[in-house]
Amino acid sequence: ATAYYSDTNGVPKDGDGRVTHLGLRAGELAPRVVSVGSLSRAQRLRDLMDSVSLSLTSPRGFTTYTGTVAGVAVSVVATGMGAPMMDFCVREARQIVDGPMVFVRLGSCGGLSPEATPGTVVLNTPGSVYVSRNPDAFAGGEGGSTPAYTIARPVAPDPRLCAHVCVALRAALGDRVVEGLNASADSFYAAQGRCDEHFDDRNSTVVPEVLAKHPDACSMEMESFALLHLAACSLGTIRACTAAIVAANRHSAAVITTELLHETERVGGRAVLNAVASFGLYL
């Protein structure tokens, strides 16, 4: 019998050297990565690449396309949603690629500010905060007096990478690019202030609290903080920045059309792919 994987206290790999969740091994992932949440967005970006040498869907829900953009190796990874999925992506990618890496996320988000209308792309030049639910506040006893949600301080993107992506996005989308702070939440529902009568969530003030503390907050999603935080903790080996297409505005409740979403994915996706391919790798 063979062990399912090795190195359980490090970054586990199977007998072929494949990391457990991405399903990739050395040589299959480029040092330049565009991460997206949804598989269909990844497919749309794949269709914009010059060539694709690897397509792999892992049993844990990650799909990777590795190929070239303007002659430079680039990978597009569909991570699915949430901070743990981004954590798998960044840590397992780091494990199988040598040398400096660049990660740019092109996600989707809710728009928090009035200008973050459906079909705009929020580039998180000031970075992202993190909103998390505090289970102790719901448990009674001593924890009952602690806040139900906490807001971690902003983590910034790599400024040069972010400026480079900004130039590319603005050239492609003009004033449909909004620069502002992101708030990543630990869930789509409670920590993003969505109300659900079936649960005790105490979350009606979460979004107003984020905006009171950070008036420049423009977007809300679930993954960007994890990427920026890990890049900041990567001992200088990963440069990252994040952007997201506004799917709906949380004030006006206006929702993007399918056509506008797909067009923004294509136009914004091409800009991000070209920016990632043309950004020099350095430590």
CB of 272 to ligand URA, least distance (A): 17
Measured from the CB atom, the residue of 20 and 124 that comes closer to ligand URA is 124
Measured from the CB atom, the residue of 23 and 110 that comes closer to ligand URA is 110
CB 130 within 8 A of CB 191: no
CB of 102 to ligand URA, least distance (A): 23
CB 24 within 8 A of CB 37: no
Measured from the CB atom, the residue of 31 and 118 that comes closer to ligand URA is 118
Measured from the CB atom, the residue of 75 and 224 that comes closer to ligand URA is 224
In this structure, how many other beta carbons lie within 10 angstroms of the beta carbon of residue 10? 8
Measured from the CB atom, the residue of 183 and 272 that comes closer to ligand URA is 183
CB 187 within 8 A of CB 202: no
Compute φ and ψ for 206, nearest 5 degrees.
-60, -55
Which residue do the tokens 């890496």 mark? Answer: 101
Compute φ and ψ for 162, nearest 5 degrees.
-65, -40
CB of 156 to ligand URA, least distance (A): 21
Measured from the CB atom, the residue of 171 and 255 that comes closer to ligand URA is 255
What count of residues does the chain have?
283
CB of 223 to ligand URA, least distance (A): 8
Which residues of this protein are in contact with ligand URA, per CB under 6 A?
108-110, 188, 192, 220-222, 247-248
Measured from the CB atom, the residue of 22 and 245 that comes closer to ligand URA is 245
CB of 58 to ligand URA, least distance (A): 22
**Residue with the closest Cβ to ligand URA?**
110
Measured from the CB atom, the residue of 128 and 192 that comes closer to ligand URA is 192
Backbone φ/ψ region at 229: left (φ over 0), alpha (ψ -120 to 50), beta: alpha
Which residue do the tokens 């994040």 mark? Answer: 242
CA within 13 Å, CB half, 39: 7
Q: What is the Cα–Cα distance from 192 to 130, expressed in whole angstroms?
A: 11
Compute φ and ψ for 50, nearest 5 degrees.
-70, -40
Residues contacting 238, CB < 8 A, separation 6+: 90, 94, 100, 101, 102, 103, 230, 231
CB of 37 to ligand URA, least distance (A): 7
CB of 182 to ligand URA, least distance (A): 10
57 DSSP β-pair partners: 63
CB of 189 to ligand URA, least distance (A): 9
